[in-house]
Amino acid sequence: MPPLLTNILILVTGIVLIALFLLLYVRSLREEQRATDTVNKILLPILAAVVLTFNLISSTRKSAPTCSGTVTTVFYIGVAMTLVLIVGGCIRFFASRSRDRRYISHSILLSAIIVCIVFMISFLNGCL
């Protein structure tokens, strides 16, 4: 595939995936049962995708001069934000009396959005 077509496909796919995650997040905030059930069914695969994507990015990053600086900073900020969101969601879950799973699912959905953004930035800058 030509590089331009690949970049366009990555960008469109990432934007669609982010839009779907945002849609699930907003509908889950409104406590719609179908959205909550969907999120509960795909929670573990999303978490696995987050971990595998960060592993892919960290293991295949190039050490070119264009890949250091801002792109590396975006990667580490993305990892830190993801960890803070997931740990914060777990702490909120265990600290609440109701034990609402939405605390964890919302943090994982937001983490998946961050991972998509970090992947698109790394890929489109030629670091993968």
What mean pLDDT comes out for the span 14-33?
A: 90
Indicate if the alpha-carbon torsion angle 68, 7, 39, 25 is positive or negative: positive
Band of residue 28 on the pLDDT scale cut at 50, 70, 90: confident
Q: Does the pLDDT at position 1 exceed 70?
A: no
d(CA 67, CA 58): 12
Give the integer Cα–Cα distance in Å for 60 and 62: 6
Q: Quote the pTM value.
A: 0.86
Mean pLDDT value across residues 30-36: 85
Number of domains the chain is built from: 1
Closest alpha carbon to 108 in 59, 51, 57: 51
Print the domain residue range for 17: 3-124
What's the average model confidence in pLDDT over 88-95?
92
pLDDT at 117: 93
Q: Using CA atoms, how far apart are residues 19 and 90, in angstroms rounded to an integer?
A: 24
Residue 63 has pLDDT above 80, yes or no: no
- What percent of the chain is helix, strand and coil (3-state, nearest 5)? 85, 0, 15
